[in-house]
Every structure is written in structure tokens, then in C-alpha cells.
Amino acid sequence: MGQQPRARIKVDTDRVIGVVDPRLFGNFAEHLGRCIYGGIFDEGSPLADSDGYRRDVMEAARGLGVSLLRWPGGNFASGYNWKDGIGPRDKRPVRPEGAWGGVEPNRFGTDEFLRYCERLGVQPYICINAGLGTIEEAREWVEYVNESRHTYWADQRRKNGRDKPYGVKYWGLGNEIDGPWQLGHKNAEDYTKFALEAAKAMRRADESIALIASGSSNFRGDWVTWNRVVLERLKSEIDFISLHTYIGNRENNFERFLAASADLDERIEVVEGLIRAAQAGAANPRPIHIAFDEWNVWYRARGGGEFATGRTRLEEIYNYEDALAMGMFFNSFFRHANIVTIANLAQLVNVIAPIFTNEKGLFLQPIYFPIAEYGKQRGNVALNALVTSPEYEVPGKGKLKYLDVSASYDGKGKAVYLNVLNRGENMDISARIDNVEGKPDAQVDVWEMNHAGLKATHTFGDDHKVRPVTRTVRVSLRANGFTYTFPRHSLTILKLKL
């Protein structure tokens, strides 16, 4: 207990992986439980503005630094007809909802979503219905949203109060179509036929859109083949392939829980390889990146069967160790910044979310804080830091470093950010930190999340205990570096000024 084994972190601002894309700080809002109704949108609530948007949720979403918002699902998307959600609200149909077993009042639809994004200053990302929907509906949706001429659907938009096209750039070609739980689930052959024609038709409506193919929903079964076929058949049309993953501490083993980075790194690298393989030999291949457009910790609030129509609201209450997992996810995304350029936390509010409301207010879950903090590194370049660290053995994954690290560099501000997760449950780790290109300033800014109780949670009126602290420390420099001790089970971001 408590010994301080030595680790080493060496940063070199020339070893650039790629830009920390602002779209890595995306989020997701699905018609599910209380994410939209009672979360984002709460008509008649004293906390909502005249359009029905919850002001407190908007403020919390701003603080989270959301850049891109995916909507309307998720599984919901595969049964959704967007035409139900436009026009006068009181005339919209109320429908049974097939993915999660609720009733959809359709009071929040395309215009409400896109106005919300504009208010929030985030880019919208719409996922089409590639389950029960048709290609023509998808094409018409693009026309409704983006067409500037006087066409039927553009004029419907004008009738509904919006003259100027919204200019939605990001369009998902369906959600988790590989999953048997999905309404309108398809095999890879049928999906790629559909998606190819949908892409063609949607681009005829607006050729400037970016398209995201439905990659493997998780990493079960033959996920490699699904992704290979999707890439092979859709490579000339798509800009991104989407991946999803949810993790959980089912074994109640802290160090194994945070070993999920090994899977994450491996899967990203496999899909990167599949992208390269699909493009091999082409003179001028269309660039394709990974959109990790659903990720989070999710294992407690799952309802009946994992994807059963369980009428569950997915109201996961997050604890301190889940907050550390946020650092683990971002470290992996940063380490693969050349290929992962979109990521959407699932989801924004109430449903597996960092923001949790009731009719009187909200509280911020522990996972909120690392997400907001990593977001401040957007636009930096991710660096390939050299890390040596004491290791631990994880069944099925081999040896893993206790320190899980990513780094980024802000060239304008001349600062290196070191993001260090110490996943040693009971082990402080002292590390020698060196900057190859010269002496850093002896004053180092520290952001640290640390709590004695791994299972500590927040609730209404009590959301201050699992929060980060910040301080500036004076390190004692030797050559180009110094020694710093990363406390057991903590997440630290060090800002070194060069």
C-alpha cells in the first residue's frame, strides 16, 4: 500500500498524432425516457423558456462544452417518421414508440431540435431511419432541412416558420442496423444496398452533406466482418463509420473496469486498418474517419433484457469511478486523434447522462467534470507521449500500464497538457516528466479529480462532493523535467507552459 513506483512520461511537441477535433466533444439526445421530454424540453415548466427549452439544462449543456448533437436516436430513430414531428404542435400525431415501449407525442421534432442547436451554438447531427423508414423519406428530410429553393418540402419548412435553410451537415445512415434488437434490423448485404441508395438520394438533395455509416453497434459477434463489408461497399459515399461502446464495472473490480482502454484502443486500430484496407490501391480515396457516436458507462439502469422493450428510462446514477472512466475514453480518443474525429457521449440529460433533472432543478453527475475539462483541449494537437509505468495483468488483455496517458499541445498558448489516469486502486505513482524540446516553466497548473470513495455519487442539492480541484504548483526542475506523484485512483491534467 502506498509505495511510489517510478514511471516516465516524455513529451515531444514534434510527435503529433492529429488535431484534437472539436467534434470529439459531441453529445446525443434521444427520444427515450426523460431525455427530451422533461430534460431538454419541458413545456409549461417554470424552468423552461417560451419555446419550452429548459434554461437550466441549456446552461449545464453549455458548461459541458457540447460541440455536436446527435438526434433523434439511437434505437428510436429506426421507427421514427420525421413528418410526424413538424407543423402545428397540437395537430401532430401521438404514436406508440416501438424501440423503447413509450408513447411519442411528437411535440419536439425537427424544427424544435434544430432551433435548440442554434440556441446552444452546437452543430446538429441527424440520424435517419434506416430501419423501418424509406430512402425517399430520408431524401425528403434533407430537402425539408437544407433546400433553399421553393420546393414542396422547403416550402413546408417556411410554412412552419423557418425561411432560411438550416444547413445541417452531418447525417447518419441509420443506427445500429447490425443489431437484432433494432427495428428494421438488416444483414450487411441489405444494409449496404439501402445505405448506398439513401446516400445517393440524400446527396442529390444536398451534395455538401457528410454521411456517417452505421458501423458495428458493439464489439460482439462478427463485428469485424460487418465493418469490413460496410467500408468495402460504401467507401465511395461515406465520410465516417460509426462505432458504439458501453462499458460497466460488472465484476466490481476497479482496475479491470478501467482496463477497458485496451479494448477501445484495439478496436479503433482494427477499424482504422479496415478503412485503410478498403482504400488500398485507390488513387484518390475518399477520406473516412471514425465517429464514436455512442459511448459511455452503462450497465446498471438497463431494465429487463439488455435491449428489451423494457420501458426502462436508463437513469443511470454515476459515481466517482465512472468519472475516471471518462478520462480513459478521452485518452483513447486523443491517442487516435488522426482517425477518431467525432465522438458523442450517450446521452445529454437524464438518460445515461451527466445532467440529471427533476421538475425543480438539476444536479451534475460526477462524470460531468472530466468531460467539460477535456473539452478545453479542443483544437490542440494530440501528442504521442512516451510512457513507461508499472503494469498489471488483466485476464484476456495481457499487461496494462497503471498510468493511462494522453497529451496535447496548444501551439499558440505554448502549453502542453498531460492527461493522466492512475488506475492503481491503492498505488500512488511518481513519474518523471520530461519535455524533449526544452525546460517547461516551474509553475504547473494542476486539475485533479480525486475522491476516497470510488462509489460516491451526487444527488439533488448535493452535487459538490465529487468535483475537481485546481491548483498551481511549483515543481523543482532538473534538466527539462520534474517529478510528479499521481495519487492512487485519480485523474490529473497537468498544464505545462513551455
Binding-site ranges for ligand AHR (CB under 6 A): 30, 73-75, 175-176, 217, 294, 346-347
HSE value, Cβ hemisphere, 13 Å, CA-based, for 416: 29
CB of 347 to ligand AHR, least distance (A): 6
Q: Is 294 a catalytic residue?
A: yes
DSSP line for 94-137: PEE-TTTS-EE---S-HHHHHHHHHHHT-EEEEEP--SS--HHH
Element (H, E) at 7: strand 6-11
C-alpha–C-alpha distance, residues 4 and 461, integer Å: 37
Of 245 and 331, the one with the shorter C-beta distance to ligand AHR is 245
Comparing CB distances to ligand AHR, the nearer of 102 and 468 is 102
With respect to ligand AHR, which residue has the nearer C-beta, 85 or 468? 85
Residue number with CB closer to ligand AHR (127 or 400): 127
Closest distance between ligand AHR and the C-beta of residue 74, in Å? 3
Q: How many helices (H) and strands (E) does the chain have?
A: 10, 25
Nearer to ligand AHR, 260 or 496 (CB): 260
Nearer to ligand AHR, 144 or 295 (CB): 295
Residue matched to cell numbers 473490480: 253
> 385: closest CA among 424, 421, 419?
419
Of 143, 147, 294, 321, the active-site residue reads: 294
Is there a catalytic annotation at residue 437?
no
Q: CB-based burial of residue 483 (10 Å sphere; 0-12 exposed, 13-18 middle, 19+ buried)?
A: middle
Please give the single-letter amino acid code of residue 318.
Y
Contact between 246 and 297 under an 8 Å Cβ cutoff? The reply is yes
Q: Are 245 and 220 in contact (CB under 8 A)?
A: no
**Cα torsion for 135, 141, 142, 148, to the nearest 10°?**
140
Q: Kindly name the residue from 104, 112, 140, 176 that is annotated as catalytic.
A: 176
Considering the complex, state which of residue 296 and residue 419 has its C-beta at the smaller distance from ligand AHR: 296
Q: At what angle do helices 223-234 and 260-279 cross, to 10 degrees?
A: 30
From the CB of 45, what's the least distance to ligand AHR, in Å?
24
Query: How far, in Å, CA of 276 to CA of 259, rounded?
Result: 27
CB-facing half-sphere around the CA of 348: CA atoms within 13 A = 37
Helix (H, G, I), strand (E, B) or coil at 196: helix
Least separation in angstroms between residue 288's CB and ligand AHR is 21
Write down the least CB distance from residue 365 to ligand AHR, Å: 16
- What is the DSSP track for 9-75? EEE-TT-EEEE--GGGGEEE--SSTTSTBTTTB-TT-TTB-TTSBBHHHHHHHHHHT--EEEES-SG
Q: Closer to ligand AHR by CB, 127 or 491: give it.
A: 127
Least Å distance between CB 298 and ligand AHR? Answer: 7
d(CA 450, CA 444): 18
Residue 455 CA to residue 58 CA, distance in Å, equals 28
CB of 183: closest distance to ligand AHR in angstroms? 11
- Closest approach of ligand AHR to the CB of residue 175, in Å: 5
CA–CA distance, 332 with 486 (Å, rounded to integer)? 19
- Which residues are identified as catalytic? 176, 294
